Amino acid sequence: MSHSTTHPATHLAQARPSLWAPSLRAVADRYDSWVVDQWGVLHNGVIAYPGAAEALRELMRRGDTVIVLSNSGKRSAPNVARLAKFGFGADCYTALITSGEVAREALSDREDPYYRGLGRRCWLVSNDGDTSVVDGLAIDLVATPGEADFVLLCGVGEAETVEHYDPQFRQAAARRLPMICANPDFVRLTTAGLKPACGTLAKRYEAIGGAVRWLGKPYPEMYRSCLRLIAANHRRATAVIGDSLDHDIAGGQASALDTIFLTDGIHHHEFAQAAHRDLLLRRMCERAGLAALPDIAMATLTW
């Protein structure tokens, strides 16, 4: 499955414009459930964004359902620990779902014929040597693609450049190994600015000739657990909050949910320099191939 935006490119000049809101309070009464991105919305990997934790607590105090939905290639538990370190405790959200957790479930139950046919020898690329996505499963980790049945991309590993894994990727592609990308994000926030993320490495594998199965936002598989939880709690109106048009906004639109785009995440520099924010947002959405503009736009997640 190649990675592309969920919708075909659409001219948005006549589309209903986004509502620019000063804060979450201005639009909170429209919704009773929320699907919230993690990186670029709640924190940047180093510090929590001011006001974000209090905004989530306010939603929880109202009795809303708040789901943190993250394209993290790690399982949910390490992300819960990370959020707690940044001041986002259990009082900030109802549930946390990661693409790494979804990948583990898919590899564990193998209900999908695609996963049943993968074999058990896996060449894993992850951050911090993390193997929790496959720990305890009937999977054998191997040192090279030459020994593997499939590739699992959960992190960037040691890669500082997009080309870092080219020798291994060429070996894997020559053997026609399928790759599972458990984090479709193209870029990641670091103290040194934006760096390539898993999605960029997976695109590189496709360019070399490999086949990729994408898990995470904006793909529907990532939203199924969210939608089940929202339905179980009898919620009527849901908003997706995120800073990525390609992932958060495209995924929300594909699931027929309202979307709230935050400008001060990965696109902070573009909007800081923009003379006309509406025009910039429209052009960015057209480049992302979105079918509509985000319903709401705001700078950061504050109450």
Residue 129 domain-assigned (yes or no)? yes
Pairing of strands 19-20, 193-196: unpaired
Q: Is there a contact between 5 and 289 (Cβ–Cβ < 8 Å)?
A: yes
Separation between Cα atoms, residue 135 and residue 62, nearest integer Å: 38
Residue 169 domain-assigned (yes or no)? yes
Residues 190, 194, 200: CA angle, nearest 5 degrees: 115
Separation between Cα atoms, residue 195 and residue 178, nearest integer Å: 25
Separation between Cα atoms, residue 208 and residue 184, nearest integer Å: 17
Q: Which of 195, 214, 233 is the last residue of a domain?
A: 214
- The SS3 call for residue 290 is coil
The tally of domains found in the chain comes to 2
Residue 13 domain-assigned (yes or no)? no
Please indicate, yes or no, whether residues 149 and 166 belong to a single structural domain of this protein.
Answer: yes
Tokens standing for 230?
Answer: 């929202």
Pairing of strands 238-242, 33-36: parallel
Closest CA to 71 of 212, 200, 215: 215
Please indicate, yes or no, whether residues 207 and 223 belong to a single structural domain of this protein.
Answer: no
Structural domain span for residue 39? 19-100+219-298
Q: Which of 214, 231, 259 is the last residue of a domain?
A: 214
Tokens standing for 212?
Answer: 């990729």
Please indicate, yes or no, whether residues 135 and 93 belong to a single structural domain of this protein.
Answer: no
Pairing of strands 187-190, 193-196: antiparallel
Tokens standing for 303?
Answer: 């109450």
pLDDT for the residue numbered 189: 63
CATH assignment of the domain containing 30: 3.40.50.1000
Residue 107 domain-assigned (yes or no)? no
Please indicate, yes or no, whether residues 197 and 128 belong to a single structural domain of this protein.
Answer: yes
Query: pLDDT by residue for the chain (303 residues), tens digit each?
Result: 444 444 444 578 788 899 999 999 999 999 999 999 999 999 998 999 999 999 999 999 999 999 999 999 999 999 999 999 999 999 999 999 999 999 999 999 999 999 999 999 999 999 989 999 999 999 999 999 999 999 999 999 888 889 999 999 999 999 999 999 999 988 876 656 667 889 999 999 999 999 999 999 999 989 998 999 999 999 999 999 999 999 999 999 999 999 999 999 989 999 999 889 999 999 999 999 999 999 999 999 999
